[in-house]
Chains A and B, each alone.
Chain A
């Protein structure tokens, strides 16, 4: 199929269908209700199920129920709704079920606002629920990448039997770009008979999908098993992109999602003018590219880093963890749903460059 011009929310919904997802449970919330609207039309066309729940709490527990049968299933929401889903997310990690969640981040805290934001970074990467919980977190910067992330999220979730989250800020979901669905390979769902609640059919012992382990040693063992999965994710699933990080690069900006697009244009412009700057773009926020950033930080040419975010500074903690005290890490951010302009970013980066001695 040729490239198609689509709105973000619709492209995300269509990508789920192309990936073989036939079940969606959700609850409307700005700025991503169009995902639900699109799937309410599209799911019946492909024999799938669209169900509007009474709340995000219910939607996420429907997600859990469907996932417990090994069904490819997705939900989507935005920041306040994701907070409500955190309970089910924790149960799903504990019970080891695969599912895909899209968070179109908007400004917080509380009801906050409805414009694009990146202020759920902590929640997505460190606190998707109580307990020792991690999701693989993908952060697309374009619609094409959103499509690719949604489509690869299902097999990734199935590989680890763990939910995968796509954090697309409100801008990615609302804008229009051209997308090509055909460049992503689709996969068949794996056999789930060894764990899923599908009815024994007289063929096997019954399956139990649960997260309760009353025996402390049993729970510790379960947590260690989950930790081994996180270790595997950290070993195998780190994704990032480097833009103009060259032998002479002095200042490395670190940005993801929508912000990275602004930073990329500024970095390219500054490079054109001879400034030694580059961009490091994490694609997976969890697992985070600690090792690669640390390697870069060891270069003599690199004098400093700068985390640029639509928050008051969340990813910067991971950048600092990677860089440790080897090099300074500056910050520039906008909040409240304001996307930093190229001018904002240019000024901030030039100031930072000056601090590092030009």
Chain B
């Protein structure tokens, strides 16, 4: 019998705690497949965020450090600067990266830290129970914006990929989406390229992944992917915003 599809070697054989339809599982798997394909499992150190994905280390079979809230890029900097031979990546949600950790991500990118950041943007706080994120769309209802996000009260959602792409320091900044198989395949390509840039010692890299949170969006998994497609893609255009080769 020929095995044509199996669990990546970099993942443990265990069920996840994620809700049905949540795209964290897909994102984890893409990272694990890339780690396998690049043969870097034995020298990879992940930095976990605070949020739903804090338990990522229960699923990924590599060394891991659990960062404090939003500071994963700083801790990743400490790891990479003390052990440049390691492959270091952070995996962060939108509250962790774009709100409490806004300073750390901007400065890690601006220093050109040779780390990779996987940024899960699902436009809501997951673990704390569906509160507004800095990436929550205008008008989007959450438990702390019950009448919908009012941009006059709280401003517009932050587009992190665009923001980081304005930095002069070379970097690889991409936004992908996990709402259908085609885009998932594209997302994997981006994640792989991001790790390759790190392995080449070239640049800081961040892949933003538009993701779903059916539980806190109050939708079925299918409705959630449709909502992402119809609403998030307009506000958060996909694409490569910056490469190390740019002038």
Contacts and interface: CB of A to CB of B under 8 A. Distances in A.
Contact of A91 (B42, B68, B87): B68
Interface in A132-180: none
Nearest to B103: A54
A61 B66 contact: no
A51 interface: yes
A206 B61 contact: yes
A87 B80 CA distance: 21
Nearest to B54: A212
A210 B72 CA distance: 13
A12 B75 CA distance: 24
B64 interface: yes
A210 B64 CA distance: 8
Most buried by A among B43, B61, B62, B75: B75
A51 B63 CA distance: 24
Given A61-B68, A69-B83, A199 B78 contact: no
A28 B41 CA distance: 37
A198 B66 contact: no
A61 B75 contact: yes
B95 to A, nearest CB: 16
A61 B104 contact: yes
Interface stretch (B44-52, B140-148, B219-227): B44-52
Contacts of A53: 74, 107
A202 B78 contact: no
Contacts of B85: 199
Nearest to A67: B78
A279 B41 CA distance: 58
Contacts of A68: 65, 75, 78-79
A201 B42 contact: yes
Contacts of A198: 45, 63, 83, 86
Interface in B57-105: 57, 61-68, 71, 74-83, 85-87, 103-104
Contacts of A199: 42-45, 62-63, 83, 85-87
Contact of A62 (B41, B54, B74): B74
A114 to B, nearest CB: 24
Contacts of A91: 66-68
Contacts of A95: 65-66
A58 B44 CA distance: 22
Contacts of A25: 78
Interface string A197-226: 111111000111111100000000000000
A63 interface: yes
Question: B interface, how many residues as a size bin?
Answer: 35 or more
Contacts of A88: 68, 71
A51 to B, nearest CB: 6
A208 B79 contact: no
B63 A58 contact: no
Contacts of A57: 71, 74, 103-104
Given A198-B63, A206-B62, A58 B82 contact: no
Given A64-B78, A199-B44, A58 B64 contact: no
Interface in B198-223: none
Contact residues of A: prevailing secondary structure? mixed
Given A71-B82, A197-B64, A65 B75 contact: yes
A49 interface: yes
Contacts of A206: 61-64
A208 B55 CA distance: 11
A73 interface: yes
A57 B71 CA distance: 8
B43 A23 contact: no
B82 A49 contact: yes
Nearest to A65: B78
Given A87-B68, A88-B71, A200-B42, A69 B103 contact: no
B45 to A, nearest CB: 5
B48 to A, nearest CB: 7
A58 B103 CA distance: 8
A64 B75 contact: yes
A55 interface: yes
A212 B66 contact: yes
Contacts of A201: 42-43
Contacts of B80: 65
Most buried by B among A55, A71, A209: A209
Most buried by B among A25, A66, A206: A206
A249 B153 CA distance: 68
A291 to B, nearest CB: 36
Contact of B63 (A23, A54, A200): A200
Given A49-B82, A64-B75, A197-B79, 13 more contacts: A51-B111, A58-B103, A62-B81, A65-B65, A65-B79, A66-B82, A68-B78, A73-B82, A91-B67, A197-B45, A199-B45, A200-B41, A208-B66
9 contacts: A51-B77, A57-B74, A61-B104, A66-B82, A68-B65, A68-B78, A87-B71, A197-B45, A199-B87
List 8 tightest A-B contacts by C-beta distance, closest first. Answer: A65-B78, A65-B75, A210-B66, A61-B74, A62-B78, A61-B71, A66-B78, A54-B107
